[in-house]
């Protein structure tokens, strides 16, 4: 049974709301997470939400041209672009493939709405049945999920996921069941989602951006795979019905290169693209110990980022439209995700 609901950020108008609304959504942290994370999971979630807050602040700044360039590289269009795009395939599935055009948004409206809501509109609850999101540390040895034909069922929370059990829960992965994959259970929150994070992801010193030392900036995208705040950011994006776009049989949906391969209509509704935007905030706020100002960003020195073509319905249909000039090496460095320190980083 599909329960149709709208993600909480819909109706948000970018740049028009400065007041912080009261939290309207709740998350529940199972005791298994305390065992796996040594009690640090909520701190990691706070950090992920702080990334969202900082990203929103920087993107709505009238003077922050550096972070606007990060947005342009990730979402294949400037933040001022007025093209409107449909919701994600996951959203369409949850709403039985109905995607009315009056819900189409610009990339900026969609991204800013999600960031603002994730930053400000969540609180913890200790009542599992009332929670919109239930977070578990799950492995194959001890799991709530049971096989049921072509589905996996979580009878504790009354949700199901498509696919076989061994496909759903594998080491070093996280998974979120959302988008109306629920069946009627009396007393349960009808818009509930369930998040399972493999205990294998919890490694020493990977709980926060403290692990992103200046040495690590040589390859922050590899370290991103080990950062729990980045994982939580990605998984919470699925609650907003942002999607994963599976490319191959490995099902990899997390990396800078993966984001660079997203088409223009996919990027604003891709969970990993927003998680990478959050990680860039953490990178930008770092600086060497002997520097009193500045921060890290993508290389400058380019005028236009590569985009993609899309058809009249908003779905990308063609290869990358390389609008950058051949001599603009800066944009190629940006696409590779090279990290540069700038004394005059804008804010």
Q: Confirm whether 316 is domain-assigned.
A: no
pLDDT per residue as tens digits for the range 168-187 = 556 567 777 776 677 888 88
Question: In the chain, which residues have pLDDT < 50?
Answer: 1-6, 11, 14-19, 141, 205-207, 209-216, 308-327
Q: What is the pLDDT of residue 131?
A: 94
Structural contact between residues 335 and 76, judged by C-beta atoms closer than 8 angstroms: no
Alpha helices for 145-302 (secondary structure H): 165-168, 220-224, 228-239, 256-260, 271-284
Q: Confirm whether 308 is domain-assigned.
A: no
Q: Confirm whether 289 is domain-assigned.
A: yes
| Whole-number Å distance between alpha carbons of 136 and 201 | 12
Structural contact between residues 239 and 178, judged by C-beta atoms closer than 8 angstroms: yes
Q: What is the pLDDT of residue 219?
A: 54
Token pair for residue 347?
Answer: 């804010």
Q: Confirm whether 194 is domain-assigned.
A: yes
- How far, rounded to the nearest angstrom, does the alpha carbon of residue 203 sit from its chain's CA centroid? 21
Q: What is the pLDDT of residue 289?
A: 72
Structural contact between residues 52 and 120, judged by C-beta atoms closer than 8 angstroms: no
Q: How many domains does the chain have?
A: 1
Fill in the DSSP letter of residue 44.
H
Closest CA to 44 of 282, 339, 242: 282
Q: Confirm whether 323 is domain-assigned.
A: no
Q: Confirm whether 139 is domain-assigned.
A: yes
Q: What is the pLDDT of residue 23?
A: 64
Q: Confirm whether 16 is domain-assigned.
A: no
Q: Confirm whether 42 is domain-assigned.
A: yes
Structural contact between residues 33 and 129, judged by C-beta atoms closer than 8 angstroms: no
Range of the domain at 203: 25-294
Length of the chain: 347
pLDDT per residue as tens digits for the range 11-40 = 455 444 444 555 689 999 998 888 777 778
| Whole-number Å distance between alpha carbons of 202 and 172 | 9
| Whole-number Å distance between alpha carbons of 231 and 221 | 12
| Whole-number Å distance between alpha carbons of 333 and 340 | 10
Token pair for residue 89?
Answer: 């395939």
Residue 35: Cβ within 10 Å count: 12
**133-137, strands of its sheet edge to edge:** 122-124, 25-29, 133-137, 193-197, 174-177
Measured CA angle at 232 (ends 251, 158), to 5 deg: 80
Cα dist from 166 to 31, 150, 180, 211, 212, whole Å: 23, 12, 22, 31, 32
What global pTM score does this model have?
0.84
């Amino acid at each position: 049974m599909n329960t149709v609901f709208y993600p909480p950020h819909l109706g948000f108008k970018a740049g028009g709301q400065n007041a912080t609304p009261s939290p309207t959504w709740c998350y529940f942290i199972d005791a298994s997470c305390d065992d796996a994370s040594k009690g640090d999971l909520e701190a990691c979630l706070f950090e992920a939400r702080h990334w969202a807050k900082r990203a929103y602040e920087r993107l709505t700044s009238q003077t922050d041209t550096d972070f606007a360039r990060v947005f342009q590289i990730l979402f294949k269009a400037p933040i001022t672009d007025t093209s409107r795009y449909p919701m994600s395939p996951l959203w369409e599935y949850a709403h039985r493939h109905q995607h009315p055009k009056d819900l189409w948004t610009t990339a900026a409206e969609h991204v800013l709405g999600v960031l603002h809501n994730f930053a400000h509109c969540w609180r913890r609850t200790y009542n599992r049945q009332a929670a919109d999101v239930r977070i578990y540390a799950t492995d194959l040895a001890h799991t709530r999920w049971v096989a049921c034909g072509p589905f996996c069922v979580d009878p504790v929370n009354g949700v199901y996921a498509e696919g076989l059990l061994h496909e759903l829960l594998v080491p070093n992965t996280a998974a979120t069941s959302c988008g109306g994959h629920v069946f009627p259970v009396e007393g349960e929150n009808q818009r509930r989602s369930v998040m399972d994070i493999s205990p294998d992801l919890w490694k020493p010193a990977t709980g926060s951006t403290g692990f992103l030392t200046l040495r690590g900036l040589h390859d922050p995208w590899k370290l991103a795979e080990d950062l729990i705040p980045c994982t939580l950011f990605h998984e919470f994006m699925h609650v907003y019905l942002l999607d994963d776009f599976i490319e191959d049989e490995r099902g990899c949906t997390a990396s800078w290169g993966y984001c660079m391969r997203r088409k223009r209509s996919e990027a604003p509704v891709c969970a990993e693209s927003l998680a990478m935007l959050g990680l860039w905030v953490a990178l930008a706020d770092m600086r060497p110990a002997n520097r009193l100002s500045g921060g890290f960003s993508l290389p400058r020195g380019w005028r236009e980022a590569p985009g993609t073509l899309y058809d009249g319905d908003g779905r990308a249909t063609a290869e990358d439209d390389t609008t950058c000039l051949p001599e603009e090496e800066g944009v190629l460095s940006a696409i590779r995700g090279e990290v540069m320190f700038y004394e005059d980083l804008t804010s």
